[in-house]
Structure 1
Amino acid sequence: MRSAKLLSVLVSLRRLASDREQKASARSLESEQVRAHRVGSDREQTATARLRECKQDQANRLERDRARHAAVRLPSVTSNFHLPGTAFRYNSNTVYAADRVIQLGGLTIQCTFCGAKKFPGETPGMCCSAGKVKLPALLLPTEPLHGLLKGDTLKSRQFLNKTRKYNSAFQMTSFGVDKEVVEPGFMPTFKVQGQVYHLIGSLLPQTAEEPKFLQIYFMGDKERECDKRCENFQDLDKTIVLSLQEILHANNHLVQSFKTAVEQEPPTRDYRVVIRADHHRPAGEHARHFNEPSVNELAIFLVGDPHDNRDILLRLKDNSLQRVSQTHRSYDALQYPLIFWQGQDGYQFNIPQVDPHTGQPQASKKVSASDFYGYMIMTRVTVNPILLYRDLFHQFLVDMYAKVEGEGLLFIRNNQQQLRAESYVHLRDAVATYSNLRNVGQLVILPSTFTGGHHYMHERTQDAMTYVRTFDKPDLFITFTCNPQWEDIKCELLPGQKPQHRHDLIARVFHQKVIKLASILTKHVVFGPTRCHMYMIEWQKRGLPHSHLLLWLKDKIWPNQIDSIISAELPDRTADPGLFEIVKAQMVHGPCGPLNPRSPCMADGKCSKGYPKQFVADTQSGDDGYPSYRRRKPGEGGFDAVITMEKNRQVKVDNRWIVPYCPLLSKTFNAHINVEFCSSVKSIKYVCKYVNKGSDMAVLGLQNSNQNDEVTCYQMARYISSNEAALRLFKFSLHERYPTVVHLAVHLENGQRLSSKVWNRRKFGQSVEGEPGIKRGTDLGRVYTVHPNNFECYYLRLLLHHVQGPTSFQDLKSVDGHVCETYRQACNLRGLLENDSHWDDTLSEAAMSASASQLRNLFAIMLQACDLSDPNHLWETHKNHLSEDVLHRVRRQNPDVNVQLSGDVLHEALSLLEDKVISLDGKELKEYSLPAPCRRRHNLAQEVMRETCYDPEALSNHIAENEPKLHPEQRHAYNCILNSAMGSEGGIFFLDAPGGTGKTFVTNLLLAKVRQNEAIALAVTSSGIASTLLTGGRTAHSTFKLPLNLAKTDSPVCNISKGTPMAQVLQQTQLIVWYECTMLHRGALEAVNRTLKDIRSDTRIMGGITVVLAGDFRQTLPVIPKGTKADELKASVKASPLWRHVRKLHLTTVQF
């Protein structure tokens, strides 16, 4: 009985399996039309069945669905990331990298159409568009070239290390590029800047000229030919050159055809040899054979014969060079004869796609260049020979991506009229409008749909600011850098290869890793549930990719939680050895500075990133900027490590050199992952712009050209590296974001593009209260800005933001039942133009996303064209935003100074604003009732900013709180010194104050009072420890550049020259407080006196500056090495001739 039941079950299972196979087979043969009909019919049947359900049936169905989904998702419970907030509960004993959520799985998936090997997470169509692209395989080269590619002999390894040089010896065209970029040190990639092009000359050289490139093939003597190649390119093995030369002469049909053309008797002197751009296949020939060599590839062409403008026309002898069209079928074979050793055709226009089910060509659909080369560089079951060529393969990647991109840019250039009509009807995002309106008729735009272009990056930045407006500032800023030593890369390398030989593989693995990172952040919510996220991939100078990611969390991170997820310290080697090694290898900055002055981060002799950082006992969250993360000293809870630099030099580093990281992410991905808490950054738009800035572009100086030709500017400025080329050829996305931001263009009535797309009401989402049938989704909207000079459209946009629920253009114009003639009139009747409030709103909205420079341009246009009633009010309201780029720049130049908004910063911003206004209508700011900039005043050097960056409000609060606490003795000293300083009387005071009488209290109050009035007050001390007692205190030696041999110099002076930033500080100084002056050598005071008189051109004592010497002669006198007591008294400031000019003030009352 049991056997019968078991047999019945087995029969049922087999029947079900057979049914599944039959149904899958039938559906694989369906046409798109049949499939659409079937899916539509199934949808209707399902909808009908659900309408007939009662509530109980519906509940049962939903319960079954939940159970089925739970069963599918059950394995996820075993993941280390199944609970929200895993990053807050990091466990040093957990092997996060081995989790199935993180594992890529290797190249285990094989395409059923083309045999490509793929990672499980890669899309089915990335290799051959699901069977639509079918190209003949590139054949393995014949011996001895095949043996040279294996890398298993000394000669083979020598060849593989110089594949580009050997190919250059045989190339028939010259490889041209605006600039090949070679970074100092190890350069594991091929990188170029500007346009890539190939040039070809005549078949034979002119008389008395040496043959080159293609001409070398026709020298007639193989020994001379080999010698010429070795002469042109040094360090080549002659035996290898001879063997390669024989292969090409015997197998390359282009070489053979050229030789035949040269040897033929010319029919006339004025003839050309032509290589047709497209292979014209005879009728009936199979499409797969489109690139197979034919017997005769060349034709004789007489002047006047018709030809395609992409054909290659060669004279027999000539000095001219011809540029080879990138879409010519022989473009690849002429430049890369070692790869296309038979002279096979490359990409051309007329390659048809095939039907994946029948294999028949589809004449109406063509293979794109991107599909062609993406197919060509895939890893397959059989060895793909193009992946063996190492550096030559890297050059090929860059060259072919430049071709793919060039094809897209050519389409853009040839369709400018349509693009301008579609994309720039009302000057989208017009804050960044063109400054040179005279060239507007010659404008060649690069639309925002072009990935990597200026408008594309600008729109992504605007989208990020849409998230900021909706969800406030992002919580985390994460930079994820590729690690070429990942095991996922090493395991897939071919024998003898290293990671730097396979940028195609690095690009694929990194793309999968970025997807995994985004998944654990947004789906597995390791930092908690998220609201939105955005990331962009770009490339380092040495060619490796990295991504910048912004993450918005539903539950904000509090300052006391920062240490739970972000660390800037070396972990304990004993407690967490795995993480220690990862941080040591991946998260140490540099080292730079004196340890490595040539480090890429060094600028003007210091680290542009501010390393080494200061030791910090506890994390401090800043009011503006990233927090100061905890960095404890070794021995006080911190650790150090020894790292090996170039030339095996070992250096000890501590926590000052550690880049902030998240232990969970570093342990999971074994890579450089910088994690920053950015919720406290005020100028968040600079973070958003940094994330979406894209890869580096060259700075160009264009002369005698139209700078509004965006296509040319982009091509000349862009850099392309091997890795970027591979990633782009695979058509991986560089940018991802969620939720979607819908761009809403503003247009006048009937000014929109017409579209035939059928509109369907949203079927999913949350129901909108009071609007039956309306569903709310997660998409966000962003309305394009409109230039203020486009008046009607600008006022239409203003109405759209104030009129609720308009149903038509007429409804927008209607006010109290009256339909206005213009949108401006409607704005007037609604009271939107009674004052400058709408211009205030315009600037406020623009400030959310536009740069300060763009905001100043907008304000200048308003001043010139919009008849503002109170421009000064708008300046005072928005001056912080109008000058924040100046402040941001100064902060970057002075990473060690707490720079705040100051008069100097505002005056530079006013100067920039006035320059723009003058360029528009020739007027100065004072003519608009705005403050005139003091152009001689603003000086933003580090020394000046250090002494002027104090917060006036904080100083005022300090003074208001502490001035009343002065007792009569202190107040007398305070008033005497203050009156001298504020009245520019000058002179020297000595504040005689034993310990406990309030010397520090009084001097700090004096410093605050002078600085409150935006004057400079210097605080200097005789020792480093004492400098911590004064606000802004520094040692006298570092401030005044005092000479070291004071005791041996008769008339010492400071090492400060006129015109230097420190000299400018001293010229503006009103007060100098010199703390612990009793330890001071008299020579120091006399050196400062001489220097101040010289720099300030003032013969008064101390150049007219009020100097306060504070100290107690009952304590330590100057230290004279091996000196007597008499020597110490002689060195004291009391022995100086200046002492007789000193006014004494005394503090005697001890404070309790």
Structure 2
Amino acid sequence: MKLHVLDPNVSIQCTLHDEQVICQSNTEQFEVPSNIVTGVCINSSNCLPDMICLTNCEEFDVPSNNPEIGNPSYFNIGWPNCICPDCGALMWYQERVKISSRINPKFSLCCSQGDVVLPPYRRLPQLLHDLYHGHDSRSKFFLDNIRSFNSMFAFTSIGGKIDTHANDGNAPPTFILNGENYHLIGSLLPLPDKPPKFAQLYIYDTINEISNRMAAVGMADDSNAFKSSIVKDIRQALDDCDNPYVRVYTMIRDTVHFQETPTVRLRLLGKRGRDGRRYNIPSASEVAALIVGDFDAADFDRDVVVQTQSGLLRRISTFEPSYWPLQYPLLFPRGEDGYSRGIEFRDNPNKARRKRQFITQLEWVGYTIQQRHKDVSTIVFARRLFHQFLVDSFSTIESDRLRYMRDHQKDLRAAMYKGLTEAIVSGDYVANATGKRIVLPASFVGGARYMIQNYQDAMTICSWAGYPDIFITFTCNHKWPEIVEFLKTHNLKPSDRPDLISRLFKLKLDQLMRDIKEGSIFGKVKAVIYTIEFQKRGLPHAHILLFLAQSHRIVHPDNIDKIISAEIPDMHREPELFSIVSALMIHGPCGEQNKKSPCMPHGRCSKYFPKKFTSHTIIDADGYPVYRRRDNGVYIKKGEHFADNRFVVPYNRELLLKYNAHINVEWCNQSRSIKYLFKYINKGHDRITAGFYNSPDPRSNDAVVDEIKTYYDCRYLSACEAVWRIFVFDVNYREPSVERLTFHLENEQSVIFPDDACIEDILNKPYARCTKFIAWMEANKKYPEARQLTYGEFPTRFVWNKDERRWKPRKRGFSIGRLHFAPPGSGQRFYLRTILNYVKGPTSFADIRTVNNVTYDNYKDACSALGLMDGDAEFVRAIKEASFWGTGAYLRQLFVGLLLSDQLQHPNSVWNSTWEYLSDDIQRI
């Protein structure tokens, strides 16, 4: 394949630097192999020799390690051939830290630019190496059943619920975990009449050890002992590795059987005396000790003590170095230490001192799951066991966070500032005498409050930018040629490497966002929102909403055809597009010709396919587009079925050719569906928020509201999502950003404080006295231009500095403000919020209540003076505002609350103005 860079859209500038000609282009940079053009290429020390980094003005052959792409429009990222100069991880050039040198890129995804340093991998013993990397039937059977083989030799069990339903069918297998996760270890010996499991297999009935291990996972041997021979080789390999845990259990076996000691216990040691950055292979004496006879548990600090014979299971702390090697002997065959709290960052005198001294488990995992240029990592070649390790890793990290929040609920309490000052007056000096309970906070990603806050932020953008115009669903294609060709060289399939799938999807999504914002596809974009979700099979996809500028909005159905098609393209004029549509954009087929399609559980397609033929695109009476689908006799064959234009998922031609993925593009500029559109892009967390709203009434004495348990019950984690979260990729994205604006009545701001804090100390803290709301009024005193803005408009011109607790004039960027909602039943807070939507430049609470030089006693009277309480208009406005994000049930509760409060002057009039919002969900049942 020839690549010609003399393209009218590519500008190239060449300069002389240190007697070398350096060429830069306005596209991604890449390096030309030095044997093609002399003197114009930059050889980067941390890229492989055939890595592409810069362009020149000549025509040349693409190096053979870049996959052949028949479609010239396709956005080919290439292979992850850049080598991190700090840790040796294979990275894509586009993953570089943007502020690093373009010639010698630095990377943070793998090792935080060299701050995280862990011992290198050691080569596997030959027996295990042949099983992992062989090409014979033994290796294939081992890799296909690697999770079962790992369970045979694991010392601990997983506490979460493994969801096997996702693996029904012919799609690539995945690993999904539900609920709280933890690792458990049982007693040294099984109870009478109970078969041995996990670590007990190293001690009990070792004469029949191989058959016992196979029976433990339900694996039956064949006549020629093919499977048992693999089990024997693994057992021998662990001995050859000198695995310290195997050695310890062998010692226990000898002690129990030969010395007939009645009570032997095992103490798993949690501390290591060596530097975790350099040494991670402990000896047997470093990982455990035998206890003979009685003992005092207080002497063993936090070490785990395993009993001789008991039905009880002990939980292993996630901070124990033995946590990972006990569960994954096939990933850590030498018993390499896992994460522990004492691993320090690398000393680097050229960098500013870090606030933290030790690495986190998240950073340890992010480093551990990388494929490196010289090290042969066992983990990334473990296929389905790699899936399990990824899910286990992030669920462990998340469980640690949730456990911390649960354990510290009583330590963090909140109360109004005014209440604390009154407590001082009444003689209560200790904080635990006042306050209210705190549960799962909005800062926890994926929790109910997090989802609700993001949903309301999205609706704020909608209020500012108008209704969205385009709805895009971009789904990862696990058969992208870059990843398929790269993994062929390692005898792997894309489904074996969810880490690469997620990373590549993120790079493609970032480029898609750049294309959209550039405006060449849909026109000028005013705002964009996306959320990331993961399919039942685990693959990531993005739901994207585009808000176009007024000058580029689509007002006529004929213009929809210019950007959206719902027809099969001509296979002779556009063969590449025809191939992509045929492979990725055909629904089903379902209906009469295939009643067994998964989309027809009740005999009717849940996606309403097949659509009707229509010769022109129209907008129906409900405001939904009916795309052009002509009955032109064109069809494709999918399996045993045929599909015509009625089964085509709407798409955009340019996006499909460039990204070669399922990209559903829909026009959506109509108001009646907007709330349901936003609910759809957040549907993955509906059960979480439903559990939040359906919690018992907290006012009842016996109410138990456990938001953490609700989250666990609704949480299903796949390998791709685990990777996404480990690398801290965005789950929600908004542009422009939304500044959440808190407000409160005078001296009634919420204050968070430790349970045993002194109240006088709390009152003297800056965060207690100077809130974002109070700082706004202070800024109005200092900056004349600030007095021209309402509170909600303030973030467009000013930036909140959390550390300094003050607003500063904005120098760059843009943001819009969102005032927290206050229901009509909240009394003066409701009227205060109503005024804040109109008043500009107040410098005190009294200023807010001042109208025409008259200061009113309360905000309700001030609202009346401003003409904001014309009959029941403010209550109608409140219901309509809440309808943007609230469910129909919530709106009905709001309306009933107004009726019971006796605040409505004309309830019938309010009902007539709002009944469509109150019954919105009922209409659609």
TM-score normalised to structure 1 length: 0.63
694-703 or 248-257: bigger deviation: 694-703
Letter in 1 for 2:907: P
* From 69, 77, 83, the counterpart of 1:110: 83
Matched, 1:488 2:478: no
1:796 maps to 832
Superposed displacement of residue 210, structure 1: 2.9
State the alpha-carbon separation in 2 of the partners of residues 751 and 229 from structure 1.
64
2:616 maps to 618
* Alignment check: 8 A CA contact 1:743 1:782 kept: yes
2:211 maps to 227
* CA spacing shift, 1:839–1:207, aligned 2, 3 Å: closer
* Alignment check: 8 A CA contact 1:270 1:303 kept: no
* From 147, 153, 160, the counterpart of 1:170: 153
* CA spacing shift, 1:576–1:523, aligned 2, 3 Å: same
Superposed displacement of residue 294, structure 1: 5.1
Matched, 1:445 2:435: no
State the alpha-carbon separation in 1 of the partners of residues 877 and 607 from structure 2.
36
* CA spacing shift, 1:683–1:836, aligned 2, 3 Å: same
Letter in 1 for 2:523: G
State the alpha-carbon separation in 2 of the partners of residues 847 and 702 from structure 1.
21
2:631 maps to 633
1:1106 maps to none
Matched, 1:687 2:684: no
Q: Greater CA radius of gyration, 1 or 2? A: 1
Superposed displacement of residue 816, structure 1: 3.8
Matches within 5 A, 1:38-437: 98=72, 102-122=75-95, 123=97, 124-183=107-166, 184-188=168-172, 189-219=174-204, 221=206, 223-232=207-216, 233-235=218-220, 237-250=227-240, 251-264=242-255, 272-276=265-269, 278-281=270-273, 287-290=277-280, 292-293=282-283, 295-300=285-290, 302-306=294-298, 311-357=303-349, 364-382=356-374, 383-416=376-409, 421=414
Secondary structure of the residue aligned to 2:458 is helix
State the alpha-carbon separation in 2 of the partners of residues 787 and 510 from structure 1.
41
Secondary structure of the residue aligned to 1:133 is coil
State the alpha-carbon separation in 2 of the partners of residues 208 and 273 from structure 1.
23
| Cα-to-partner distance string for 1:321-372 (whole Å, 9 max, x where unaligned) | 2222333221211111111111122122222222245899989522111111
Superposed displacement of residue 419, structure 1: 6.6
State the alpha-carbon separation in 1 of the partners of residues 282 and 352 from structure 2.
18
1:1129 maps to none
* CA spacing shift, 1:328–1:778, aligned 2, 3 Å: same
Secondary structure of the residue aligned to 1:449 is coil
Superposed displacement of residue 716, structure 1: 1.7
1:1002 maps to none
Superposed displacement of residue 99, structure 1: 5.3
The structure with higher relative contact order (CA 8 Å, sep 6+) is 2
State the alpha-carbon separation in 1 of the partners of residues 150 and 416 from structure 2.
44
| Cα-to-partner distance string for 1:1097-1132 (whole Å, 9 max, x where unaligned) | xxxxxxxxxxxxxxxxxxxxxxxxxxxxxxxxxxxx
* From 528, 533, 558, the counterpart of 1:533: 528
Superposed displacement of residue 859, structure 1: 1.2
Secondary structure of the residue aligned to 2:93 is coil
Superposed displacement of residue 390, structure 1: 0.6
* Alignment check: 8 A CA contact 2:417 2:747 kept: no
* From 739, 747, 763, the counterpart of 2:736: 739
* CA spacing shift, 1:272–1:361, aligned 2, 3 Å: farther
* Alignment check: 8 A CA contact 1:478 1:676 kept: yes
| Cα-to-partner distance string for 1:984-1015 (whole Å, 9 max, x where unaligned) | xxxxxxxxxxxxxxxxxxxxxxxxxxxxxxxx
Superposed displacement of residue 389, structure 1: 0.8
Superposed displacement of residue 697, structure 1: 5.1
Letter in 1 for 2:458: A
Structure that is richer in helix per residue: 1
State the alpha-carbon separation in 2 of the partners of residues 217 and 153 from structure 1.
29
Letter in 2 for 1:470: W
* Alignment check: 8 A CA contact 1:275 1:311 kept: yes
Letter in 1 for 2:336: Q
Secondary structure of the residue aligned to 1:675 is strand
Gaps of 5+ in 2: 1-15, 22-53, 59-68, 98-106, 222-226, 420-433, 752-765, 790-796, 798-807
Superposed displacement of residue 790, structure 1: 2.8
Secondary structure of the residue aligned to 1:249 is helix
State the alpha-carbon separation in 1 of the partners of residues 401 and 71 from structure 2.
40
| Cα-to-partner distance string for 1:563-593 (whole Å, 9 max, x where unaligned) | 1111111011111111111001000001223
* CA spacing shift, 1:203–1:673, aligned 2, 3 Å: same
Letter in 2 for 1:655: N
* CA spacing shift, 1:315–1:371, aligned 2, 3 Å: same
State the alpha-carbon separation in 1 of the partners of residues 182 and 871 from structure 2.
58
* CA spacing shift, 1:871–1:877, aligned 2, 3 Å: same
* Alignment check: 8 A CA contact 1:696 1:718 kept: no
* From 687, 690, 715, the counterpart of 2:712: 715
State the alpha-carbon separation in 2 of the partners of residues 770 and 793 from structure 1.
23
* From 444, 455, 459, the counterpart of 2:449: 455
* Alignment check: 8 A CA contact 1:178 1:716 kept: no
* Alignment check: 8 A CA contact 2:276 2:343 kept: no
1:950 maps to none
State the alpha-carbon separation in 1 of the partners of residues 192 and 70 from structure 2.
71
Secondary structure of the residue aligned to 1:320 is coil
2:638 maps to 643
Superposed displacement of residue 474, structure 1: 0.7
Superposed displacement of residue 144, structure 1: 0.6
Gaps of 5+ in 1: 1-11, 18-73, 79-94, 427-439, 645-649, 890-1152
State the alpha-carbon separation in 2 of the partners of residues 657 and 825 from structure 1.
60
* From 723, 726, 745, the counterpart of 1:726: 723
Secondary structure of the residue aligned to 2:522 is coil
1:1147 maps to none
Superposed displacement of residue 415, structure 1: 3.7
* Alignment check: 8 A CA contact 1:768 1:775 kept: no
* Alignment check: 8 A CA contact 1:173 1:335 kept: yes
469-478 or 309-318: bigger deviation: 309-318
| Cα-to-partner distance string for 1:370-425 (whole Å, 9 max, x where unaligned) | 11111111121123221111111111111111011112222322343677639999
Letter in 2 for 1:393: F
1:608 maps to 606
State the alpha-carbon separation in 1 of the partners of residues 665 and 877 from structure 2.
35
* From 462, 466, 479, the counterpart of 1:468: 462
* CA spacing shift, 1:415–1:622, aligned 2, 3 Å: farther
Superposed displacement of residue 308, structure 1: 6.8
* CA spacing shift, 1:144–1:203, aligned 2, 3 Å: same
* CA spacing shift, 1:418–1:656, aligned 2, 3 Å: farther
* Alignment check: 8 A CA contact 1:352 1:362 kept: no
* Alignment check: 8 A CA contact 1:176 1:197 kept: yes
State the alpha-carbon separation in 1 of the partners of residues 55 and 234 from structure 2.
56
State the alpha-carbon separation in 2 of the partners of residues 286 and 150 from structure 1.
29
State the alpha-carbon separation in 1 of the partners of residues 354 and 202 from structure 2.
40
* From 901, 909, 914, the counterpart of 1:865: 901
State the alpha-carbon separation in 2 of the partners of residues 668 and 15 from structure 1.
38
Superposed displacement of residue 110, structure 1: 1.7
Letter in 2 for 1:715: Y
Secondary structure of the residue aligned to 1:538 is strand
TM-score normalised to structure 2 length: 0.78
1:811 maps to 847
State the alpha-carbon separation in 2 of the partners of residues 811 and 361 from structure 1.
45
Matched, 1:498 2:480: no
Give the share of equivalent positions with the same residue, in percent.
36
Matched, 1:784 2:820: yes
State the alpha-carbon separation in 2 of the partners of residues 234 and 311 from structure 1.
34
